[in-house]
A and B are shown apart, each in its own frame.
Chain A
Amino acid sequence: MDAYTGRVLHVDLGRRKSQVEVLEPAFLQKYLGGVGLATRLLIDNGEPGCDPLGEENAVAIAVGALAGTMVPCGGKHAMAAKSPLTGFIGDSLSGSYWSNALRRAGYDAMVIKGKAANPTYVFVDNEYTLFRDAEALWGQESFATEEAIRAEIGDSRVRVSCIGVAGEKLVPYACVSNDRGRQAGRTGMGAVWGSKNLKAIAVRGTQPVSVAELEELNKLSLDLGERAQGLATAKYRVTGTVGNVLTLNRLGLLPTRNFQNSVLESAEQVSGEYLQSHFKEKAVACSGCPIACEQVVRVREGSYEGARVSVDYETLYALGPCCGIDSLPGIIKAAELCDRYGLDTISTGVTIAWAMECYEKGILTESDTDGLELNFGNHEASVALIERIALREGIGDLLAQGTKRASEKVGQGSEKFAMQSKGLELPGYEPRGLKTYALGLAVGTRGACHNRSLAYEPDMKGQVDRLKAEKGRGQIAAESEDLAATLDSMMFCKFIRGCFEDYHEEATEFYRLATGLDLSAEGLKEAGERICNLKKHFNVREGWEKKDDWLPARILEEPLPDGSGQGTTLVAEELRLMIDDYYEARGWTEDGLIPAEQLAKLGLEDLS
């Protein structure tokens, strides 16, 4: 087989055993790799109805068909498990070198089950899989863990994926970090690792990767690499995604002070441009990436001097404007702490924003907050909270549960401004002013997410009236999810998608040249639909109900506060209309369930 190795490494942490499962080409082609393959492996290997932090939950990690090759932006990996934050599918991607190592070690995917008796790390050393003691690593932050493992093995090219303290402490929005600063950030995969006493997976992969047509693939890759230096990626290359701050602020779509405002008066101070000129150290890349969007920034003076981290837009939004914070040093320090402890920056920031609103409304007082004054804009408080969350100390133990559970506990109307859907905190675009996107957030299988649905695109590009909720948006949202699913399974980074003239045609050409398997553009589209249905199937299996597809009360009950769309509402009836339209577009029942014939149509009859 070319590109694919056709092998899955199954690891049983409790029994300290591993074994290899062989996958057929037809199976691989059906689920592509990445999110598609990981989701299928999760469905097959995780216990239905399991406790996400119990031994029966499985973690499936899959690379894409193009990992280990020179195809630009094709080397990410996807991780899937039942999420401890949402109780539904948790799937998270990370840009990586780790993925290449796994492919070169001879695997397309890994499935991890059981629970180790003691803190353990798994070392995949090409054909050997070793279980190693991680007692000394327990309690260490992610960077240090990577370095310690490389030193112990004595090979600087060993790639490491690991959790920080937050994962060990089972914070349900803990992330998994790899390659010094990349994260599988959302839905709490780090807590699942922690529950299994799994500190890290180190991989040494040095075997050659075969591709069907090396010369042609090389030519096409060079060409795509060149296109990646053009206008389509200018934003990512020049300022990184943080360039969004001023754009969104201008449109009145920058969620501010826990979505109480949609414009931040002092946005200039937290803009991507300001970050560039005052804090940027360097733009760096993930493996095989000709774009290099990652902005490494450093605080050069003041009380946070020396804080250094990569900052993207979502991190900046959540730890900045959403908390009313307009101090970049404060945001950088907070982001650095999240990375060190291994916390998802979006969920962390939005949870802190919720706590700040509770504090300002008198729902939480200083006796609840360990004496911290949680006013919006107080970056010292947010920095102090992050450590407490990671260690689950004091108020941190409440906030470590995320906005959904924390607000259910605190009550007093705080549920209405818990900015989450299915338990996952909202990303940094104002849904009241982007209605197709709002639909995408509501129906998203992993909760409120801007990466699994690209429905903000037609809104932002003016292809639809972004302030209007109408029939037809269901189809748009469904198609955008299908597209995202193919990118997340081919494992093409979303930032290169603008470099394709015809994405489906060109992506399948890469796929064909790499794997030798025949996949048509139509086939790729259908795979996207199949994978979205697969994720939905998992959720239904885990108890999903129609009411779970919904948005926070604040979005539905309060008009858009600022900007050009000021006064716009997204009322419950409008959202209901769009959701029903979406179910119809998907071929699902009125209750949002997948009919058996729909599963069969997509080749998933074994699941009905």
Chain B
Amino acid sequence: MTKEFIVCDPNKCVGCELCELACAIEKAELLDITRTRIFSIRVEPSLMMSVTCRMCESPTCVASCPRDALSQDEETGVIHVDEDECVGCGWCVEACEFGVIIEDAGKATVEICDLCAGRKVPACVEYCPKDALTLSTPVQIGQQTRKEVLGELLAELIEA
């Protein structure tokens, strides 16, 4: 499977939180930050990034659901929520290692990033003013990292 997910480059992220609003607008058609499925976090004045579902292999959220309401799409890795089965118990929220599952208090179900199914580019990626968010596969992330490491090495060599 291709397994793309939304990746944030912390060096580019400026912490503006526009991705959260973009998500809420797309998913809830409301400027309601409790409905975002991507989360901007700022740990230090200069350490910030956004995080959302990473489409894990063997996802703990799916395994934790007592009602088998969650399932993973084999093709895309997206976690589907069966709204008829989900009762919003929150086991998956606890199980998620990235803390990116939200409960919709109104519907008493959970919501997870689905890469804006039906949209060519996810809303947050489109909205990000600094191009810090990209849709990438693990293979692409590895390639990018290797390239950056080499670039840094080169810079060090030139400096030395």
Contacts and interface: CB of A to CB of B under 8 A. Distances in A.
A200 to B, nearest CB: 18
Given A225-B18, A289-B14, A206 B34 contact: yes
Given A214-B25, A284-B14, A292-B16, A229 B31 contact: no
A349 B121 CA distance: 49
B67 interface: no
B117 to A, nearest CB: 19
B17 A222 contact: no
A290 B45 contact: no
B16 A287 contact: yes
A218 B45 contact: no
Interface string A218-254: 1000100110110000000000000000000000000
A11 interface: no
Contact of A214 (B31, B126, B129): B31
B45 A69 contact: no
Contacts of B15: 284-285
Interface residues of B, number: 23
Contacts of B17: 97, 287-288
Contacts of A290: 16, 18, 129-130
Interface string A291-308: 010001000000000001
Nearest to A228: B129
A288 to B, nearest CB: 6
Interface string A142-178: 0000000000000000000000000000000000000
Contact of A208 (B14, B16, B31, B130): B31
Interface string B96-131: 000000000000000000000000000000110110
A543 B11 CA distance: 52
A181 interface: yes
Interface residues of A, number: 35
Contacts of B33: 104, 206
A69 B32 CA distance: 9
A97 B21 CA distance: 13
Nearest to B39: A157
Contacts of A211: 31
B99 to A, nearest CB: 11
Nearest to A310: B45
B38 interface: no
A276 B14 CA distance: 16
B35 to A, nearest CB: 8
The 9 closest A-B pairs by CB, nearest first: A290-B129, A208-B32, A292-B14, A285-B14, A282-B46, A296-B46, A285-B16, A209-B31, A70-B21
13 contacts: A70-B22, A104-B33, A180-B42, A181-B45, A207-B32, A208-B31, A214-B25, A214-B30, A285-B14, A288-B16, A289-B16, A292-B16, A310-B45
Interface of B: 11, 14-18, 21-22, 25, 29-34, 42, 45-46, 48, 126-127, 129-130
